[in-house]
């Protein structure tokens, strides 16, 4: 038998077997969103001195303290959610410490927090926030289409 004829038959047979026994099936995938069983609730409190706000008007100092205490409460929530980055630096000369530096920072986005209370206590304005992770989950689900496989049907 001719060598090229045998090759042609083998190639056609292989192509036939590959196409007939394909591992790729047509399928329909149904997705289902999975909701966590429990959601934590975080609380944060922010403080700001009223008299130290930079304004000559008492009302404006109060409004500035309200805003500052709210920002401080949000920073505390961000610390709880994302953690705090701390870095330090020590400079030495002749085996003596010349300078010590310690910095801390927090960065993050807080969505869904609610102001529980906002009130003055003496010369300090206080704001209390609550972050319910069920609200965060619902916001996330509204913005993202994160899903898991519910059912797969092969044809």
For residues 109-145, one letter each, b for 16 or more C-beta atoms within 10 angstroms of the residue's C-beta and e for the rest, the string is: ebeebeeeeeeeeeeebbbbbbbebebbeeeeeeeee
Whether the CB-CB separation of 141 and 34 falls below 8 Å is answered with no
d(CA 70, CA 119) in angstroms, rounded, equals 11
The pLDDT, as a whole number, for residue 152 is 76
Q: What is the largest CA-CA distance in the chain?
A: 107
The pLDDT, as a whole number, for residue 23 is 57
- Per-block average pLDDT, block size 10, for the chain (155 residues)? 76 68 65 84 96 92 95 95 91 88 91 95 96 90 72 74
Q: What is the pTM of this model?
A: 0.65
The pLDDT, as a whole number, for residue 113 is 95
Half-sphere exposure of 118 (CA within 13 A, CB side): 16
Partners of 97 in beta bridges: 92
The pLDDT, as a whole number, for residue 57 is 92
Distances (CA, A) of 2 to 5, 16, 126, 129: 5, 21, 94, 85
DSSP H helices, the chain, are 3-20, 58-82, 133-143
d(CA 91, CA 66) in angstroms, rounded, equals 40
d(CA 97, CA 117) in angstroms, rounded, equals 46
């Amino acid at each position: 038998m001719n060598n090229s004829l045998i090759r042609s038959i083998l190639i056609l047979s292989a192509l036939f077997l590959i196409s007939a026994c394909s591992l790729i099936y047509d399928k329909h995938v149904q997705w289902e969103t999975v909701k966590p069983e429990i959601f934590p609730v975080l609380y944060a409190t922010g403080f700001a001195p009223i008299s130290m706000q930079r304004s000559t008007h008492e009302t404006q100092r109060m409004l500035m303290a309200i805003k500052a205490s709210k920002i401080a409460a949000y920073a505390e929530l961000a610390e709880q959610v994302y953690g705090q980055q701390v870095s330090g630096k020590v400079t030495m000369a002749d085996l003596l410490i010349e300078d010590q530096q310690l910095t801390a920072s927090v960065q993050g986005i807080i969505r869904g927090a609610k102001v529980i209370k906002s009130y003055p206590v003496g010369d300090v304005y206080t704001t209390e926030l609550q972050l319910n992770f069920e609200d965060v989950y619902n916001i996330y689900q509204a913005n993202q289409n994160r899903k898991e496989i519910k059912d797969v049907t092969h044809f």
